[in-house]
A and B are shown apart, each in its own frame.
Chain A
Amino acid sequence: MKFLDQPPRFLFFTGKGGVGKTSIACATAIQLAEAGKKVLLVSTDPASNVGQVFGISIGNHITVVPAVPRLSALEIDPQAAAQLYRDRIVGPVRGILPEAVVKGIEEQLSGACTTEIAAFDEFTALLIDSSLTADYAHIIFDTAPTGHTIRLLQLPGAWSGFLEQGKGDASCLGPLAGLEKQREQYKAAVDALADDKRTRLILVARAQQSTLREVARTYEELAGIGLKQQYLVINGILPKIEAENDALAAAIYKREQAALHAIPDVLKALPQDQVVLKPFDLVGLDALRQLLIDTPYQAQAATDSPVGLDEPGLSKLVDGIAADGHGLVMLMGKGGVGKTTIAAAVAVELAHRGLSVLLTTSDPAAHLIEILNSALDNLTVSRIDPHAETERYRQHVLETKGAQLDAEGRALLEEDLRSPCTEEIAVFQAFSRIIREAGKKFVVMDTAPTGHTLLLLDATGAYHREVARQMGNTNLHFTTPMMQLQDTKQTKVLIVTLAEQTPVLEAASLQVDLRRAGIEPWAWIINNSVAAASTNSPLLHQRAINELREINTVAKQHAKRYAVVPMLEDEPTGVSRLLELAGNSN
């Protein structure tokens, strides 16, 4: 493995949820420790299973791992860190200021950036020289801060106008208020990150086009800050031999190889390692030791026990949606779970039943949408360009709000506008114009705002609730956009995920966030399920069995209703393939 060659002191693994960062970080830690180095492994996974991997309980303090000499581990729960952070700011005024005010402050500190900054706060002590970490030759992190967070902390305006005096009115910096350490310490931590003699960043991806594109963006963003020493690991590649006797495996193999072939240019120049999909679960020391070793792959005996999944398909869910005659359907989920495909399948299913449907996408690469445009009479298609919308929004804010700021303030505002929330707000505004159509027909969208964004946009939300309470029995008719989203008769939010542990956990936290805004997701859709497809490939069969546990978790713990959508051999494009995806044999 190239990324293990002469590693510097700090190793950061980054990549979207479910690509295998934690497994690879664990395997790396074991390998370096067994090579004689003293190693500290730091996990920031909110549902870290590092303890389980090593058979001990770890938690938020450095713990020796008895099974591996020279290895210690630490689990930072970013959610818990963010909660402590909120408590630090809000705690002192709770019970003194009115509850609505306290809730408002809490909401501002409940977004993704607060979690990021709180986690970075915890990292800081590990990155600067201290007696705490002096003994360790290597410190391995299973996640990395985003470019946005680092840039924010690098800006002098973030400190001079705000943290040192505790004053100022930059708009996106509320979360910075809880930072406890000295400015010098954050600067030292950021310097350590940007120093290629001390830090190596390992981008972890899968052999999927969308994932590789996302990784290319991460690369550019972090390289722009100075993290030049980056490596690429492509995890979980299906071996060729597996493709020989199974149509689904052959299709996946072909798709993965095509994605590897079309890898974005900026990633081509990076030192690259490929990790082959293993036929075993990555639990326990032996399994992790083998993860990074290229053993010749032995074809497994074909299994003849089918998984036998009998779960509801998408078509059944659409029955429930169609029953209301019209309304808004929003697909929510992390990138890469297939929201656009599912949105198209839901739209086609509805249109196929003779209902009038408008399908709207914000995915610039959604070619399947074009094909649908003239396919069915009662299906229309529209598109929103997130880049154009975000740019328009940024310009508007900079012109109105930024006009009279000084250089530092303006830099801060510009960084503020690069936050992931900005795109979400801009795109949602564009969608809002279309949402009105949902009173007459079905509007299906491949995205949805997070609860956090809605709560912040709904500045008068407390007022709405108050009005609703007072009007209680008077039967006066009134609605607000927020109320439209909260009413499942009018709006159905469908959470899309994959039947894998991390994506399911991520989807569950999206659901928690929506519930905070009073929105109850109507159903879950588990996409790309191998268990719902049929396969003779032993590797895929193993994966199907692993999926059952996750499908069960979704069914029992998370979802009011759910559907499982099979992985198909080809990308579903066109009406008939989308109907097939929905489980409609017609």
Chain B
Amino acid sequence: MWCGCGSTVSFAADVDWAKQNGAQIERFNLAQQPMDFANNKVARDFLERSGHEALPLILVDGEFALAGRYPNRTELARWTAIAEIIAETKPVTGCCSGGKCC
């Protein structure tokens, strides 16, 4: 189980890489920081429309950029070249998520 969370791990490494290259990236976990989702209209509407199953959600400059999977380095690089990145990730109720079972 842990539902193939390998992707989260490599994404974490990619984020570190992008940050080292000057990108500004913030990550949010729904279970741990629900207020950040509630306060962001794009994230809130996304959850309303597609549910938490559809996460992760990635916003760039506050606008929708990608959802349903984590971005790869090429995508991160492209966005970094455009402007700062804000990535909102939230793995869901079961897997790869905050508070697995405790």
Contacts and interface: CB of A to CB of B under 8 A. Distances in A.
Interface of A: 89-90, 92-93, 96-98, 100-102, 104-105, 107-109, 111-114, 117, 162, 166-175, 177, 393, 396-397, 400-405, 416, 419, 421-422, 424-425, 429, 452-453, 455-463
Interface residues on B, range: 35 or more
Contacts of B6: 400-401, 403
A551 B88 CA distance: 53
A108 B99 contact: yes
Interface string B27-50: 111111111011000001001100
Interface string B78-102: 0000000000010111111111111
B37 A93 contact: yes
Contacts of A401: 2, 5-6, 8-9
14 contacts: A97-B37, A105-B30, A108-B98, A109-B99, A169-B27, A172-B99, A173-B32, A173-B98, A177-B33, A177-B99, A402-B9, A456-B101, A459-B94, A463-B53
Contacts of A114: 99, 102
Contacts of A111: 99, 101-102
Given A114-B102, A166-B32, A425-B1, A97 B44 contact: yes
A480 B99 CA distance: 24
B51 interface: yes
B38 A404 contact: no
A247 to B, nearest CB: 46
A419 B101 contact: yes
Contacts of B44: 96-97
Contacts of B4: 400
Contacts of A162: 32
A101 B47 CA distance: 8
A459 B93 contact: yes
Given A117-B102, A171-B98, A173-B99, 7 more contacts: A98-B47, A105-B93, A108-B100, A171-B2, A171-B5, A173-B32, A404-B12
Contacts of B5: 171, 400-401
B32 A93 contact: no
Q: Which of B28, B35, B89 counts the most chain A CB atoms within 10 A?
A: B35
Contacts of A456: 93-94, 100-101
A404 B100 CA distance: 19
Contacts of A404: 9-10, 12-13
B27 A167 contact: yes
Contacts of A455: 93
Nearest to B55: A101
* A-B pairs, 8 with minimum CB distance: A174-B99, A459-B94, A113-B102, A421-B101, A104-B93, A108-B99, A174-B98, A96-B38
Contacts of A429: 1
A333 to B, nearest CB: 19
B19 interface: no
A405 B101 contact: no
Contacts of B95: 459
A400 B9 contact: yes
B2 A396 contact: yes
B2 A452 contact: no
Nearest to B8: A169
B100 A171 contact: yes
B94 A100 contact: no
B32 A416 contact: no
B93 A90 contact: no
Nearest to A167: B27
A101 B27 contact: no
A457 B8 CA distance: 18
Contacts of A400: 2, 4-6, 9
B55 to A, nearest CB: 9
A425 B44 CA distance: 32
B101 A169 contact: no
Contacts of B101: 111, 113, 172, 419, 421-422, 424-425, 452-453, 456
A169 B28 CA distance: 8
A463 B52 CA distance: 11
